[in-house]
Structure 1
C-alpha cells in the first residue's frame, strides 16, 4: 500500500518526536544517582524517583484514553511533548538545590509531571497511528517503536557525553530544547482529528472497564504487562548477575543494549507479519516461548546444568529482544481489532481507549518488574528468580492457545481481519471472503456493531470485518 503525502509527513514527525522523547526520558540514568548521593539522598530515595515515572504513566494513561476524543489527539500529542521537554529542562537545574529533602521532593514532582506529559504523548500517538494507517497499524507502530528504542539507547550515551562536556545542566537543557523543536514541527504538520461517526452524531465508545472485560483484550493486557516485567527484571538484576564474568564497563553497557537493539531490528518484521500474513495471537504465542527460552538460558534455569558464560548470556539477550518485540507489536495490533470486533466503533475514541490500555499496562509491568526482581534476587538468587518470569510467559502462551481454540469453535478463521463493505457482500460474496455454512449456503458476515452474524443479502449499509 502506497502512503499518501500526509501519511509520510505524519510518519516522519512521529519518528523524530519518538526518538527525541525517548532521549529526554532516559538521559539521566548515568549521572542522576551520583548527583542525588552528593546531596545526601539514599539509593532507596532516588530509586523511587525513577520508579514513580512508570507508576504515574500507569495511573494517568487510562484517563487520557477515556477523554482523548474530547481533548483532541493533536492537542494531547503536542501538549505531551511540550510538557516532557519543559520538565526535562527543569530537571537540569536541580543541581542548584543543596537541601536533600527539597532536592528529592522536586525530583519527584518534576518526574511525575514529565510522566504525565509522556503518557499523553504516547496515548495520542498510538491513536493517531491507528487512525492514519488503518491497514498497516502493526508495521507503523513497530517502526515508531524502533525509533523510541533507539532513543532509549542513545539517551544515556549522549547524556553522559554532554555531562562530561558541560556538567549536569547541559544535557537536560540541550536535549529538552531539541524536543521543543520537535514539538513545534508536529504542531505545524499534524492535522486535527475529530471523532467521526455516522450521520454526524457522536457514537458512544464505552469505557476502559468495558474494554478490559473483553477476554481477548484482557489477555493482551496481561501479555503486555508480562513483557514489560521481563525487561524491567533484566534492567534491575542483569549487572549483578554478570559481575562474576569481570566485564569492563563498556562491555557491560553493550550487554544492556543487546535486547533493545534486537527488539528495534525485528519489530518492523513482526508488524508486517501481523498486518498481512499471520494471526497476531500466533505471534504472541511464539514470542512467549522465545522469552521462556531466553530466561531459561540466562538464569540458567536451576534444573539445567548450564554454566553462566558470556556467549550463553549474549544468545539469551538476543532471544529476549526477539520474543519481547513479537509480544508487544502483536498485542498492540490485535487489541485494536478485537475492540472493533466486539462492538466498539471504529473511531478515534476507541483508538484512545486501546492506546491508553496498552500504555498503562506496559507501565505497570515496568514498575513491577524491577521491584519484584530486586526482592526475588535477594531472597532466592538470580537463577530461581528467572523462574518467575518464565512462569508468567508460560501462562501467556497457554492462555492465548486456549483463547484461539475457543474462538475457532465459534467461527472459521482465516487468521487475518479483512474490512469489507456491505455492497461487496451483496455483489460478490465469494470475493469478499464471507463466511458460509447455513443450510441454504447463504453467505454470512460478522457485524462490527454487535459482533453477531448477518446474511450478506440483508438490507444494510454498514461495513464489516471478517476474521
Structure 2
C-alpha cells in the first residue's frame, strides 16, 4: 500500500476514533438530565450496535460497487451529524435517534479495512491491518482524557468538538485520500442480501474466521464489564485511576499491533500467531477471576491487552486473503456486523452472571476465549484443506 495513502487513512481513522473515545464515557452523565438510567444506557448502547449490525454490510457492499471513498465520506458525515444531534438533544428520543444514525452510517471501520485490503500485498496485509488497528486504538485511548477536559467547559462541548473533528475527517478524505477500488474492478451488482450474513458462515475459512471474531469480541466486551465493576467495587480505585488503568490496557494493545510486521517475520502462519495469543489471553482472564490484588490484576490486564491486540490484524488478513477484490467491502462489513452482535451479547451475559459474583465475569470471558481457541484449531485444519487459489 502506498505510504501516503496509508498514512492519510491512518490520520482519518485516528480522528474518527478520537471522537468516539471522547463521547462514550460521557454518554451516561450527559443523558442523566434526560432521565437515562443504567438500564436505558444499555439500550442506548445496544441501539448503536444493532443499527451497525444491519447497516455495515450494506455500506460495505455499496463500497464494492461505488468505491470506498464516497461511502467513507458518507459515514463520516453521518457521524458528524449524530454528534451534533446528541449535543442539541432535548429528549431521550433524540439521544436514541443520534446513536441509531451513527450506527446506520457506521461503516467507517469496515470501509477503512477494505481500503487497506485493496492496496496491500498478501505479505503486507496483516502489518497494514495492524497499523490501522493501532490508529483506531490510539483515538480510543486518548479520547476519554480529552473528553474529560472539555466536559469542564460544558457537557455539550465534547460532542461539538467530536463533530468538528469528524468534519475534519470528511475534508481529509475528500481532498487527500485516493480511491483504492477503481471503476474497472468494481462489482457490477451492488445489491446486498441479508442471506449473506448466514451464507458467509458456510465458507470453510472465512466463515470460521468471522465466527472466531464474534466469540473474541464477546469475550472482550464481557471483560470490560468485569473490569469496570471489579476496579470500582472490589479494588475501590478512583475514576481517574480507572481511566489511567484503561489507557494502559489500550496502549499495550497498540504496541502489539505495531509489532505485527516483526512477529510475521518470525512466524508466517497467521492462525498459529492467533493460537499463541489466545493461550495468553485465556490464562490472563482465568487468573483475573481468582485475584483480589491490584498489582496481580493489573498484570493480567496488561497481558490480555497485549496479546488481544493480535486478534483483528490476523483475522482480517485471513478473511481478506480468501475473498475476491469485488467482495472485500461486503465481507469485511459482515465481519464487523458479527463483532457488533458480540458487543451486545458480551455485556448482557456479563450483567447476568455478575449477579452471582464479579469474578465469574472473568471466567465467562475466559470461556469465550477458550471456545475461540478451539475454533481456531478447526480454522487451521480448514486452511490446510482449502489452500488459497493463486
TM-score for both structures, normalised by structure 2: 0.90
> How far off its partner does 1:381 sit?
1.1
Structure showing greater radius of gyration is 1
1:284 to 270, 274, 277: 274
Contact 1:224-1:328 within 8 A present in 2 as well: yes
- Structure 1 gaps of 5+ residues are 98-102, 301-306, 340-344, 412-445, 449-463
User: Do the aligned partners of 2:220 and 2:365 also contact (CA within 8 Å) in 1?
Assistant: no
Tell me the CA shift for residue 203 of structure 1. Answer: 9.1
**Whole-Å Cα distance in 2 between the matches of residues 14 and 78 of structure 1?**
12
In the TM superposition, 1:51-62 aligns within 5 A as 51-62=46-57
The offset of 1:399, in angstroms, is 2.4
**1:153·1:257 contact (CA, 8 Å) conserved in 2?**
yes
Measure, in 2, the Cα distance between the counterparts of 1:351 and 1:405.
23
Name the structure where helix makes up a greater proportion of residues: 2
Match of 1:246 among 223, 236, 240: 236
Is the aligned partner of 1:322 residue 2:306? yes
Aligned to 2:163: 176
Q: Is 1:39 matched up with 2:34? A: yes
Displacement after TM superposition at 1:205 (Å): 11
Cα deviation for residue 248 of structure 1 reads: 2.6
SS at match of 1:333: helix
* Residue pair 1:143, 1:267 contacting (<8 A) in 2 also: yes
Q: Deviations over 1:211-247 (max 9, x none)?
A: 3211222221122112212221122221321223232
Does residue 260 (structure 1) correspond to residue 255 (structure 2)? The answer is no
User: How has the CA–CA distance of structure 1 residues 49 and 208 changed in structure 2, closer, same or farther, with 3 Å as cutoff?
Assistant: closer
Change (3 A) 1:66 1:30: closer
What's the counterpart of residue 76 of structure 2? 81
Q: Secondary structure at the match of 2:121?
A: coil
Instruction: Name the residue aligned to 2:365.
Output: 389
Match for residue 360 of structure 1 among 337, 341, 346: 337
1:220 aligns with 2:209: yes
Q: 2:283 aligns with which of 293, 302, 306?
A: 293
TM-score, normalization by structure 1: 0.76
Q: Deviations over 1:358-411 (max 9, x none)?
A: 211221111111111111101x31223322222222222222224434554x48
Residues 406 and 11 (structure 1), Cα distance of their counterparts in 2 relative to 1, 3 Å cut: closer
User: Which residue in 2 is equivalent to 1:426?
Assistant: none
Alignment gaps of 5+ in structure 2: none
Distance 1:239 1:124, change over 3 A: closer
Q: Let me know the Cα RMSD of the aligned residues.
A: 2.5
**Structure 1: how far apart are the matches of 2:309 and 2:362?**
19
- Tell me, yes or no, if the aligned pair for 2:219 and 2:368 is still in contact at 8 Å: no
Return the match for 1:376 from 345, 353, 357. Answer: 353
Per the alignment, in what secondary structure is the counterpart of residue 310 of structure 2? Answer: helix
Contact 1:79 1:117 in 2 (8 A): yes
The count of corresponding residues between Structure 1 and Structure 2 is 384
Deviation at 1:74, TM superposition (A): 1.0
CA distance in structure 1 between the aligned counterparts of 2:77 and 2:320, rounded to whole angstroms: 27
Out of 134, 137, 143, the residue aligned to residue 121 of structure 2 is 134
